């Protein structure tokens, strides 16, 4: 029996099918465009279980309501061929079936079984970490990586997987060590770059983060649009921290928006960056209008609550009628959401969406009340610490616009404790201290801003 590039046995009849399988596995782990080669490989081998299971998995990462329909024909071919396939390949098809059917609990149960029996199957481990991430289960993200760590020390992508799990569990030293290990083995390891960006953002190492991401950005070639735009998004956060807003707008236009405008992650990355810029007082011009035209198809697209919240805000900022349609559809959907995520949809996402809509429309009192209720539970909607930090900023902005300066001061000083040179934080502190009649502190904050700018 042949083996894939990680040493897992595969049932294939041709070198072309095996090449497609290998391109998917490594491309998936490396966020490389060559992962898409699995589609041709599956089309040319309709009776091959693993090739078709991977093709179905590829489509599920579209993160849209269309994804299951695109994946299902490949999955059915995989299942039809499963009797002649090896056990690992049969289990992979079952994992994908669970996802297509919306049974994420079953997906994770099967994924751990695969990891236990076949610890070199990093494709299944990677997709399991993805689901734990979307559920806000950070310990699960680390657990599924840790389960196979000892058997994959020679694989740089293993260390990148572990690094992000560590970081999301606030094990920052371990995250940095794992990310650096991955990069020492393979400089072009964009997921490890991403983990390092998280580490440096969390530690307030703004200049280090900017220098590091700028240095490795030359390796971000042949990446899928998510990884390419997301790493540029992370680089942009360091620039925002330095007050370099014009540079961020240039990155938005060149590296964030326009790579694949129809893709979910590209859309929310664009929404998030424009939101952050407006929150620090930047005029983003007519950029919301173009973005809104691509988001308006999402009015019934309830794949992940984290995505829906940003779709709604983008539509509201573009002032499109689809804004109200989306939130109306969301209110209907939450009653029938999957049991595993029903509370996240109904108790967190819907409340947050009502707050986001209020904020976008200038009702800051309602925004404050809704976001105050939602923010303590935002982990349940998925997304990373860095991504969810946006909603903390929306709450903070609502506090300041409703005159809750004493509360805002507490949040801002806690933020300054780990990011003392941040231009936006020190500008906000200047504003808050002036309104609290703390003129000495306002002067100190103003001086810190001048030193950092």
> Residue 391: inside a domain, yes or no?
yes
Q: Express each pLDDT in 340-395 by its tens digit.
A: 999 999 999 999 999 999 999 999 999 999 999 999 999 999 999 999 999 999 99
> Residue 173: inside a domain, yes or no?
no
Q: Do 147 and 275 share a structural domain?
A: no
> Residue 131: inside a domain, yes or no?
yes
Q: Do 131 and 18 share a structural domain?
A: yes
> Residue 247: inside a domain, yes or no?
no
How far apart, in whole angstroms, are the C-alpha atoms of residue 181 and residue 342? 39
Average pLDDT over residues 438-442: 97
Domain count along the chain = 3
pLDDT band at 453 (very low <50, low <70, confident <90, very high): low
Q: Do 15 and 121 share a structural domain?
A: yes
Query: What's the pLDDT score for residue 381?
Result: 95
Structure tokens of 166?
A: 């560590």
Q: What is the crossing angle of helices 225-241 and 206-216, to 10°?
A: 150
Q: Express each pLDDT in 265-301 by its tens digit.
A: 999 999 999 999 999 999 999 999 999 999 999 999 9
Mean of per-residue pLDDT scores for the chain? 97
Q: Express each pLDDT in 230-263 by its tens digit.
A: 999 999 999 999 999 999 999 999 999 999 999 9
- pLDDT of 450 above 90: no
Tracing tokens 């409340």 back to the chain, one arrives at 351
Query: What's the pLDDT score for residue 123?
Result: 98
Given a contact cutoff of 8 angstroms between Cβ atoms, the answer to whether 82 and 93 are in contact is: yes
> Residue 175: inside a domain, yes or no?
no
> Residue 248: inside a domain, yes or no?
no
Prediction pTM value: 0.97
Q: Do 409 and 387 share a structural domain?
A: no
pLDDT band at 192 (very low <50, low <70, confident <90, very high): very high
Domain range enclosing 339: 261-400
Residue 223 backbone phi and psi in degrees, to 5:
-85, 155
> Residue 17: inside a domain, yes or no?
yes
Q: Express each pLDDT in 197-232 by its tens digit.
A: 999 999 999 999 999 999 999 999 999 999 999 999
How far apart, in whole angstroms, are the C-alpha atoms of residue 420 and residue 422? 6
Q: Do 362 and 414 share a structural domain?
A: no
| CATH number of the domain enclosing 318 | 1.25.40
Q: Do 429 and 336 share a structural domain?
A: no
Q: Do 419 and 308 share a structural domain?
A: no
Query: What's the pLDDT score for residue 451?
Result: 84
Q: What is the crossing angle of helices 15-30 and 122-135, to 10°?
A: 40
- Measuring CA to CA, which residue among 87, 83, 40, 35 is closest to residue 57? 35
Q: Do 415 and 334 share a structural domain?
A: no
Q: Do 423 and 385 share a structural domain?
A: no
Radius of gyration of the chain (CA): 23
3-class DSSP assignment, residue 32:
strand
């Amino acid at each position: 029996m042949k083996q894939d590039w990680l040493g897992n046995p595969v049932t294939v009849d041709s070198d072309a099918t095996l090449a497609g399988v290998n391109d998917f596995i490594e491309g998936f782990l490396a966020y490389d465009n060559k992962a898409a080669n699995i589609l041709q490989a599956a089309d040319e081998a309709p009776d091959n279980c693993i090739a078709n299971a991977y093709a179905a998995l590829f489509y599920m990462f579209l993160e849209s309501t269309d994804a299951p329909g695109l994946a299902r024909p490949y999955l059915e071919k995989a299942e039809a061929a499963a009797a002649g396939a090896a056990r690992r390949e049969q289990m992979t098809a079952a994992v994908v079936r669970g996802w297509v059917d919306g049974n994420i609990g079953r997906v994770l149960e099967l994924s751990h079984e695969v990891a236990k029996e076949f610890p070199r199957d990093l494709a299944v481990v990677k997709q399991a970490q993805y689901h734990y991430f979307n559920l806000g289960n950070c310990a699960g993200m680390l657990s599924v990586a840790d389960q196979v760590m000892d058997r994959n020390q020679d694989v740089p992508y293993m260390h990148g997987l572990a690094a992000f799990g560590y970081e999301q569990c606030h094990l920052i030293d371990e995250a940095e060590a794992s990310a650096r290990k991955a990069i020492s083995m393979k400089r072009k390891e964009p997921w490890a770059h991403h983990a390092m960006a998280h580490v440096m953002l969390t530690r307030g190492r703004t200049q280090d983060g900017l220098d590091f991401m700028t240095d490795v950005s030359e390796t971000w070639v042949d990446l899928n649009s998510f990884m390419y735009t997301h790493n540029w998004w992370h680089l942009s956060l360091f620039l925002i921290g330095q007050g370099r807003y014009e540079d961020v707008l240039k990155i938005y236009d060149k590296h964030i928006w326009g790579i694949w405008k129809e893709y979910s992650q590209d859309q929310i990355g664009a929404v998030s960056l424009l939101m952050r810029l407006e929150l620090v007082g930047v005029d983003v011009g007519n950029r919301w209008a173009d973005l809104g035209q691509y988001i308006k198809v999402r009015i019934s697209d309830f794949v992940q609550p984290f995505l829906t919240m940003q779709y709604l805000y983008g539509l509201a900022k573009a002032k499109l009628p689809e804004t109200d349609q989306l939130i109306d559809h969301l209110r209907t959907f939450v009653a029938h959401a999957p049991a595993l995520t029903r509370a996240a949809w109904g108790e967190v996402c819907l409340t947050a969406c009502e707050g986001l809509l209020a904020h976008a429309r200038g009702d800051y009192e309602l925004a404050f009340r809704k976001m105050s209720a939602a923010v303590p539970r935002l982990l349940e909607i998925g997304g990373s610490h860095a991504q969810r930090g946006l909603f903390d900023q929306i709450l903070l902005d609502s506090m300041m616009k409703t005159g809750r300066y004493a509360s805002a001061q507490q949040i801002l000083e806690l933020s300054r404790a780990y990011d003392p040179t941040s231009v936006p934080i020190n500008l906000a502190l200047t504003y808050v201290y002036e309104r609290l009649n703390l003129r000495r502190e306002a002067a100190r904050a103003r001086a810190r801003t001048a030193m950092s700018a």
